[in-house]
Structure 1
Amino acid sequence: MEHLKIFDNTEIAFQLKSNKELNRAHFLFNMISNESLVKVGTALTRFAIKAHLPVEGIIRATVFDHFCGGVNEEDCLPVIDDMFTKGVSSVLDYSVEGKETEAHFDGAMEKTLKIIRFSDDRKAMPIAVFKPSGFGRFALYQKKSEGKVLTENEQDEWSRVVARYDAVCKLGKEKDVEILIDAEESWIQDAVDDLVTDMMRKYNKDVTIVYNTLQMYRHDRMDFLKRQHELARKEGFYLGYKIVRGAYMEKEHERAMENNYPTPICESKLATDENFNAAAQYILDHISDISVFVGTHNELSSYKVMQLMKEKGIEITDNRVWFGQLFGMSDNISFNLANKGYNVAKYVPFGPVKDVMPYLIRRAEENTSVAGQTGRELMLIKKEKARRKAAK
């Protein structure tokens, strides 16, 4: 594979990082690599925010500025414009979590609509995203997923959830901004899937605007993908999927054990990797019907998709294939892919510092638990620091 090893080029990976920012990244990933430090740090941070201690400045100058674009859309513009000079697009992600009122759900929808309008005249922002639990109550999705009959009030509440999805997808269609809808825990995902499929039916008639998310650590997702493909073919609409490995593994295992049902998660990391690659293969085999956003920090999966595109004669600029990574992570994948001309977008989280903390804490905990991820980041940062030192 002649493009093997492109992800080792640290000069391209960190071209936008000043020495100061590189040193900060080195400090952060060093901290994150220590599990007990992460546990203590997250506990202290939660306490400090609850107690209204003046920690926002410290958080903002360290972990927030590394993993987030800013506190609002305008604040993110320098980051967005900067990355786009190197061919990396941005997906602005309003990462405020855990809100449960109608006012908050309407607020999240308004924020998403604002981002779509904000994206409209910016080539650097061709995609918007929202999280289902940001648009409706978790327990309501769960009741719907379990097939239980909703009360009249709940039925009205659900209609408002549907209306929020519809408003966002409709504006996405009008403005030609693609809409990625994130995945949730398996016990509420069925309701999400049904609703997103309805949006695809409505808005993916000519091209793919609406994308669902498949968490490939779930062993049932390949069958789901094939069933969806059959349905879309029969009814005449296009599919869009963001494929990821998944984000709620421990929670999924625990709930399965507590409620005495088989875990929906693949039996091993290897099985998850194979499932992810199988989904990529299936979608690229059917690229005329399905578009894909490959959300991965895994270099081998990225190479696999590059290889498949080449074998199938899919142009690297084909809008039906995008690669995506999180801001502040895997710059070696994002910037080296963009340098070769592939479609690449960074998920750029933003929001008020204290509201984004649950997201940042999850990032830190995930990085600690993903074997090798933090070590790889550290190794690349050290390599780049050494390269710069030698180049002086």
Structure 2
Amino acid sequence: MTSNSLFDNTETAFKLKSDSELERAYFLFKMISKEPLVKIGTAVTKFALNINLPVEGLIRSTVFDHFCGGVNEKDCMSTVDKLFDAGVASVLDFSVEGKEEDEQFDSTAEKVIELTKFAKNKEAMPFSVFKPTGFGRFKIWQKITENQHLTDAEKLEWKRIEDRYDLVSKEAHDSNIRLLIDGEESWMQDAADSLCEKMMEKYNTERPIVFNTLQCYRWDRLEYLKELHQRAKNKGYKLGFKIVRGAYMEKENERAAEKGYKTPICESKKATDDNFNEIMKYIMDNLNDIELFIGTHNESSNYLAMDLMKEKGISRSDDRVWFGQLFGMSDHITFNLGAEGYNVAKYIPFGPVKDVMPYLIRRAEENTSVAGQTSRELTLLKKEKERRKL
């Protein structure tokens, strides 16, 4: 068994933070821990940005700089280099959400291609990433998932989405950079899954390049993984998966109740944890066919992953297994894993302040709804502040 105190080492966890950055982090998590404050803060921020109040400087020096790498990729490079020196890789995530126009989808795809080329010669950046709705309107994904009739214009629109996927996947393949595709709401996810599967079949013949995301708060994901594994074996291609718990739980449950279908979400936190761990075990049992990116802030799952690797004789530096956390969160997991020689990466969102705000707001809301996450951050930050005083 791995010693369950590894993640208590705050000296390693916060070694990249100056005293003032430590204070800022403490202040932010203190704010985020108060749900009414988050609700008011997000509403005020949205309003201020919409009417162009000069609040960008304030946002930048607080929440943006804590959770984001910068406004463009050049901005992020000093962070990427610092992390790499500490044994942590970076996944640069152009986190612009909620767009509706073709030009915007094209420019997001171009940005992902640019980032993939940019990462090609950088050992510190082994992955590229995008969100399905960064490449096409949510409504189209939903219509295809629900088997609705598409108009001729919509068929063309879908063809353009497929082309964007193909261009980006081809670039990842040619640059030998793995491509993580994020998961979204269940009522658009089937279309995203099948398009991703198409790319895996085309580009994962020698090794996993295209990775899909399994949201393990969905009770059907282990079954889906096993079926896909069988199809991939039959057709002779490899799989790559990022596994996460999931980010849309309240939305999913509300919609299921409203529309009268069985919720796709596990019945309890424990059921979700068990599902996550089962999926992780299944992939570790099949590493010759499936590569794994473990995207979690859950300490027990990270300890379990380390135990499984030890048990199965998988080396800490085996390139088929990666751990990942979000920038600005769970440094006690990331940096301690890196110091122990595991492959670990920070997801680093970046983009213009105004465009990245929907992402940041979602993160703040998620943090308030994850019991224990914020209080754990606060406890560790406080512990480090006291350690430094001594």
Per the TM superposition, whether the score is higher than 0.5 is: yes
How far 1:156 sits from its partner (Å)?
1.2
- Is the CA contact 2:2–2:306 (under 8 Å) kept in the aligned structure 1? no
SS at match of 1:267: coil
How far 1:148 sits from its partner (Å)?
2.2
Q: How does 1:90-169 map to 2 (within 5 A)?
A: 90-169=90-169
Please, which runs of 5 or more residues in structure 1 have no aligned partner? none
Letter in 2 for 1:311: E
Cα distance in 2 for residues equivalent to 1:314 and 1:297: 22
Cα distance in 2 for residues equivalent to 1:96 and 1:2: 38
Partner of 2:361: 361
Partner of 1:269: 269
SS at match of 1:342: coil
Cα distance in 1 for residues equivalent to 2:2 and 2:142: 47
Q: State yes or no: 1:351 paired with 2:351.
A: yes
Partner of 2:32: 32
CA RMSD of aligned residues (A): 0.7
The Cα offsets for residues 69-121 of structure 1, whole Å up to 9 and x where unpaired, read as 00000000011001000110000001111101100100100110110011111
The Cα offsets for residues 213-249 of structure 1, whole Å up to 9 and x where unpaired, read as 0000000001000000110111111010000000000
Letter in 1 for 2:100: E
Letter in 1 for 2:289: D
Partner of 2:6: 6
SS at match of 1:367: helix
Partner of 2:379: 379
How far 1:2 sits from its partner (Å)?
3.9
Cα distance in 2 for residues equivalent to 1:298 and 1:244: 10
How far 1:258 sits from its partner (Å)?
1.1
How far 1:5 sits from its partner (Å)?
1.0
Cα distance in 2 for residues equivalent to 1:156 and 1:364: 37
After superposing on structure 2, the runs of 4+ consecutive aligned residues of structure 1 that deviate more than 3 Å are none
Q: State yes or no: 1:235 paired with 2:235.
A: yes
Cα distance in 2 for residues equivalent to 1:138 and 1:154: 12
Please, which runs of 5 or more residues in structure 2 have no aligned partner? none
Cα distance in 1 for residues equivalent to 2:78 and 2:173: 27
How far 1:149 sits from its partner (Å)?
2.9
Partner of 2:184: 184
- Is the CA contact 2:131–2:182 (under 8 Å) kept in the aligned structure 1? yes
Cα distance in 2 for residues equivalent to 1:4 and 1:375: 18
How far 1:3 sits from its partner (Å)?
3.0
SS at match of 2:183: coil
Letter in 1 for 2:215: Q
Letter in 1 for 2:80: I
Letter in 1 for 2:325: Q
Partner of 1:19: 19
Cα distance in 2 for residues equivalent to 1:131 and 1:248: 14
- Is the CA contact 2:2–2:307 (under 8 Å) kept in the aligned structure 1? no
The Cα offsets for residues 99-147 of structure 1, whole Å up to 9 and x where unpaired, read as 0110010010011011001111111101000000000111111111112
- Is the CA contact 2:2–2:303 (under 8 Å) kept in the aligned structure 1? no
Partner of 1:322: 322
Partner of 1:285: 285
SS at match of 1:376: helix
Cα distance in 2 for residues equivalent to 1:121 and 1:70: 21
Q: State yes or no: 1:71 paired with 2:71.
A: yes
Cα distance in 1 for residues equivalent to 2:286 and 2:41: 46
What is the TM-score when the length of structure 1 is the normalising length? 0.99
Partner of 1:310: 310
Partner of 2:83: 83
Q: State yes or no: 1:62 paired with 2:62.
A: yes
Between the two proteins, what is the percent identity of the paired residues? 62
The Cα offsets for residues 255-301 of structure 1, whole Å up to 9 and x where unpaired, read as 11111101000000000000000000000011111101000000000
The Cα offsets for residues 13-36 of structure 1, whole Å up to 9 and x where unpaired, read as 000000000000000000000111
